[in-house]
Copies of this chain bind each other. A is one copy, B any other.
C-alpha cells in the first residue's frame, strides 16, 4: 500500500485525490493547501484524510511514501526538490517545472535518491492517445508528414503562465509520446489582448530533421471549443477529435502516392502526385478515465522500480519546447533551436 500526500487542492487537486482514493494499492493519507476553505471541502468528502495548511508537515511525515504536487508551476521545482530530499516518490502536475534547467536538476535529484519522478501528462494515458501510438508503432500510417493540433475555447486567463504553458503543453506531451521524432527548432507567434497580461492566443510550428512538421494552435478567447488534431502520413491519416463522444479517432485510408519513375519528363509534379481515397475506420477505444490509468501506472512504477511513461525525460523535452516557444513568440516567430533531445 502506497500512502500518498497531495499538495494543492485547487482546480486539478480534487481529480487527483478522487482517483488516488479509488486506485487499488494506494491510499490518500494527507492533503495540504494554504486555504482552510479548500481543506474543509476535502474533509466533507474524505473524512479520514489528514489535513494541513503546512505542506512541510506532509513532507516530514515518515508514514507518507509518495507526494503529488498540484500547485502553480512556479512552485513545482522547490516542492518536488524538497519531496525528493525527504525520500518521497514524486508525481508532479504538468508542466514538470518552470525551466528546462529546473527539470534537469529534478531528474538528477530523483536519480540520486532512486525515487520515481513522474509528470502528469494526462492525455498520454487516454485510450485515444494510446490508440494513436499503437497506429504509429505498427507502421500502418506510414511516414508521418505532419502533426497539427487546435486546442481553443473560452478559457480561464491564467496570470502566471501564458496560453502555451497552459494548453500547448498537452499537445506537446501527446506528440512526445506518439511521434518517434524529436523537434530541432520552434517558431512561435502570439498575442496578449490584456495589456500587461500573458499571451492568450498562440501558434507554434515545430521543425524536425525528418520530413515532418508540427503545428499547435491554442487560444483562451475562442467562442467555440475545438480539440482537434490532424495527423498526416504517407499511408493513412488520422483525425483525433477529443470532443466526440465515442468516435474520437478516425483513420482515413486516404492520401497521395508519389511516383517519380513514371515520368522523367519536364512537367514532373503533375504525374508524380496521385490521389487515393478509401474507407474510414473509427476504432473502439478504451474509455477508462485517464487519471485512473495513470494512478495505477504510478503505483506500478513505484512497486516495480520502473521508469514511468511520462518520466522526467518526457517532462524535460516538453518544457524545453515551451521555453523556446515563449522566447520565439517574444520575437515575432524567429526560429529558436532546441537542445538535442534523445528518445527516453
Chain A residues packing against B (C-beta within 8 Å)? 47, 145-146, 148, 150, 152, 154, 157, 159, 185, 187, 189-191, 193-194, 196-197, 201, 203, 205, 207, 211-213, 215, 217, 219, 221-225, 230, 232, 237-239, 243, 245-247, 250, 252-256, 258, 267-270, 272-273, 275, 277-284, 328, 331-335
Partner of A189, one of B187, B256, B280: B187
Are B332 and A332 in contact (CB-based, < 8 A)? Answer: no
B221 and A232 contact, CB distance less than 8 A: yes
- Please give 10 more A-B residue pairs, beta carbons under 8 A apart, in addition to A243-B245, A281-B281, A328-B333: A154-B277, A157-B273, A189-B213, A194-B269, A196-B268, A217-B217, A223-B255, A224-B252, A279-B282, A333-B335
Q: Contact: A194 with B258, CB < 8 Å?
A: yes
CA distance A222 to B233 in the complex (A): 10
Q: Assuming the A-B contacts A223-B239, A279-B282, are A211 and B193 also in contact, with contact meaning beta carbons closer than 8 angstroms in the complex? A: yes
Contact for A145 among B197, B205, B221, CB less than 8 A: B221
Q: Are A207 and B332 in contact (CB under 8 A)?
A: yes
Give the distance to chain B from A51, nearest Cβ to Cβ, in Å.
16
Q: How long is the Cα–Cα vector from A222 to B229 in the complex, in angstroms?
A: 11
A225 contacts across to B, CB distance below 8 A: 245
Cα A267 to Cα B160 with chains together (Å): 10
Shortest CB distance A227–B (Å):
12
CB of A280 to closest CB in B, whole Å: 4
Residue of B nearest to A22 (CB): B44
CA A101 – CA B96 in complex, angstroms?
A: 51
Pull 23 A–B residue pairs with CB atoms less than 8 Å apart, ordered by A: A47-B47, A148-B201, A150-B150, A154-B254, A154-B255, A154-B256, A159-B268, A194-B256, A194-B269, A194-B272, A196-B269, A203-B205, A215-B217, A217-B217, A219-B230, A219-B232, A221-B237, A222-B230, A223-B230, A278-B284, A280-B281, A331-B335, A334-B335
A197 to chain B, nearest CB (A): 5
Smallest CB-CB A-B distances: 4 pairs = A187-B333, A159-B269, A223-B252, A223-B237
User: Nearest chain-B residue to A255 (Cβ)?
Assistant: B221
* CA–CA, A223 and B332, complex, Å: 30
Complex CA–CA separation, A328 to B187 (angstroms): 11
Residues of B within 8 A of A250 (CB): 223
Residues B256 and A221 in contact, CB atoms below 8 Å apart: yes
Minimum CB–CB distance from A194 to chain B (whole Å) comes to 6
Question: In the complex, A217 Cα to B152 Cα: how many Å?
Answer: 15
Point out the residues of chain B lying under 8 angstroms from A232, CB to CB: 193, 201, 219, 221-223
Min C-beta distance of A247 to chain B, whole Å: 6
CB distance from A145 to the nearest CB of B (A): 5
Which chain B residues lie closer than 8 Å to A185 at the CB level? 332
Q: How far apart are the CA atoms of A157 and B255 in the complex, in Å?
A: 12
CB distance from A340 to the nearest CB of B (A): 18
Tell me the nearest residue of chain B to A260, going by C-beta.
Answer: B195
Among A213, A221, A239, A335, the one with the most B-chain Cβ atoms within 10 Å of its Cβ is A221
Select which of B47, B201, B333 is within 8 A of A334 by beta carbon.
B333
Residues of B within 8 A of A197 (CB): 269, 272-273
